[in-house]
Structure 1
Amino acid sequence: MTAGEPDLVGPEILDGHLYDYPAYYDLVFGSDCAAETAFFEDCFRQLARRPVERIFEPACGTGRLLYRLSRRGYSVSGNDLNPHAVAYCNARFERAGWDPPAVLGDMADFRLRRKVDAAFNTINSFRHLDNENAARSHLGCVAAALARGGLYLLGLHLTPTRGPRDMGESWTARRGHLGIVSNLQSISIDRRRRVEKFAMSFDVYTPTRHRRIEGILEYRTYTLEQIRRSVESVPSLEWIETFDFAYDISRPVVVGNLTEDVVLVLRKR
């Protein structure tokens, strides 16, 4: 069975979240790996004030980017709360003959034994932190982990305060006989409580099966002013540049009340 074919029986519903199925997660979010990695290296060369050799990813998931960066010669590490993702990440590294880089850990409460030259988190994981204390704790942990002149690349969707907002997206990913149709749609937003709810579904197709993962996802919302206050709460981090999800270092963006997709470049003072 392939994506788009009629399903007369209906999909098999899988329990849990996409994060519990790391092979599917890796495919869903893996299409931008090459562009992201190239963008990271452009930032390291042009915006860091120190050579970048050691890199950390909080909420690293399956380690798809850590793996690519390791192949390019960087020393990498990460943490994540999901044991399935951590195991998948480490198994991938071990198959390549490398030490496992990921540990179970909270992106809002961690401490590294050695400082790193750069850190990144670019697919909205920051918005899983559901209160300001957790967000500031995360930024503080990253700041403490960075060496002076090092970078933190933080990607998230902002909530515009003017004009329409993006209500969601759908995309398809394929690898061999496995195809996944992803759908993420905003169903409500509470600006006072700063909570946006999304209906999410991932339809997984193989030649013989149709399976589905579905559920409700909650993200904390950030306007431009709100994310600015969060960053300014950690004085050792300086917001030096902003890009969008095109990952083009030659095209920085000016963030305004209409802006949604951003990658903040924060540098350790």
Structure 2
Amino acid sequence: METIKGHLYDYPKYYDLIFGDDWKAEFDFLQCCFEKHATRKVTRVFEPACGTGRLLIKLAQAGYKVAGNDLNQHAIKYCNDRLERSGFPRSAVIGDMSNFKLKRPVDAAFNTINSFRHLQTETDAKNHLQCIADALAPGGLYILGLHLTPTVGEPMKSESWSARRGNLSINSHMESIRTDLKQRNEHLEMTFDVYTPTRQFKLFDTMDYRTYTARQFKALLAKVPDLELIELYDFMYEMDFTIKIDAETEDVVFILRKK
């Protein structure tokens, strides 16, 4: 099978299929969080590092005013084209999730699949949270999902999953190659095995995530006092199952509210 090395984000059609296949659970969870945890009516939402807008389009179709930003021009075009085809404004822009300012406050923001960990420094991470705090109206929510580094036990090293849409099928595999806790870096490799009626090929990419123990993330949150931690869930997205973080916890959805 031919291997193509490059950024997976440059292939939004394939990226969207893999990560957008199970949108319904996240979509329902977001709406439940809006209703349960926001102290204001949620009508305007924003997604930093929105990528292909797999959730933005669903929220727009549900009646929300949506917007997002992302550094990848291919993903932004894909997102905006999809919004436009459904009759919505091209409201996603090329932008840095650690350095942005919205013209008008939003009622909620979300980032659910570890994109936050692409920010490589404490300064960038703090700036991101402050940008979000500044973008939210009082009582608005930030729903942030990420994997913590457990301090007890072995962390999950790999994930594989598949998705299909019509004649397009993709098998995806992500593996943690090495982790340097002193440098706060986790290096990963990710592949998409792509199958179409006329071609089979492999897309290969590497990425680096900043690591966070529970203590480190708590210390980061303390630097942005405008955001208050009000609840914790895991990636099962079950509203009646909240969690408490311990030394073995990995996947966490933090529900933060603007004071």
CA distance in 2, matches of 1:179, 1:101: 29
Partner SS for 2:55: helix
Paired letter, 2:107 = D
Residue number in structure 2 paired with 1:71: 61
Residue number in structure 2 paired with 1:7: none
Residue number in structure 2 paired with 1:238: 228
CA distance in 1, matches of 2:82, 2:4: 24
Residue number in structure 2 paired with 1:186: 176
Partner SS for 1:14: strand
Residue number in structure 1 paired with 2:238: 248
Residue number in structure 1 paired with 2:159: 169
- Mean alpha-carbon deviation: is it higher for 204-213 or for 151-160? 204-213
- Answer yes or no: is 1:222 the counterpart of 2:212: yes
Residue number in structure 2 paired with 1:137: 127
- Answer yes or no: is 1:111 the counterpart of 2:91: no
Alignment of 1:71-90 (within 5 A): 71-90=61-80
CA distance in 2, matches of 1:154, 1:123: 8
Residue number in structure 2 paired with 1:49: 39
- Answer yes or no: is 1:125 the counterpart of 2:119: no
Paired letter, 2:14 = Y
Partner SS for 1:29: helix
Cα deviation 1:137-171 (Å, max 9, x = unaligned):
00000000000000000000000000111011000
Paired letter, 1:234 = V
Question: Shift of residue 207 of structure 1?
Answer: 2.0
CA distance in 2, matches of 1:68, 1:100: 14
Note the residue ranges of structure 1 that are not aligned, 5 or more in a row: 1-10
- Mean alpha-carbon deviation: is it higher for 205-214 or for 72-81? 205-214
Note the residue ranges of structure 2 that are not aligned, 5 or more in a row: none
CA distance in 1, matches of 2:223, 2:22: 31
Give the % identical residues: 56
Contact preservation (8 Å) 2:8, 2:205: no
Question: Shift of residue 217 of structure 1?
Answer: 1.3
Question: Shift of residue 15 of structure 1?
Answer: 4.1
CA distance in 2, matches of 1:216, 1:264: 26
Contact preservation (8 Å) 2:171, 2:194: yes
Residue number in structure 2 paired with 1:34: 24
Question: Shift of residue 12 of structure 1?
Answer: 2.4
TM-score calculated relative to the size of structure 1: 0.95
Question: Shift of residue 209 of structure 1?
Answer: 1.1
- Mean alpha-carbon deviation: is it higher for 70-79 or for 88-97? 88-97
Paired letter, 2:30 = F
User: Please, what is the CA RMSD of the aligned residues?
Assistant: 0.8
Paired letter, 2:182 = R
Residue number in structure 2 paired with 1:206: 196
Question: Shift of residue 183 of structure 1?
Answer: 0.4
**Residue-pair matches, total:** 259
Question: Shift of residue 93 of structure 1?
Answer: 1.0
Partner SS for 1:94: helix
Paired letter, 1:232 = A
CA distance in 2, matches of 1:54, 1:98: 14
- Answer yes or no: is 1:62 the counterpart of 2:52: yes
TM-score calculated relative to the size of structure 2: 0.98
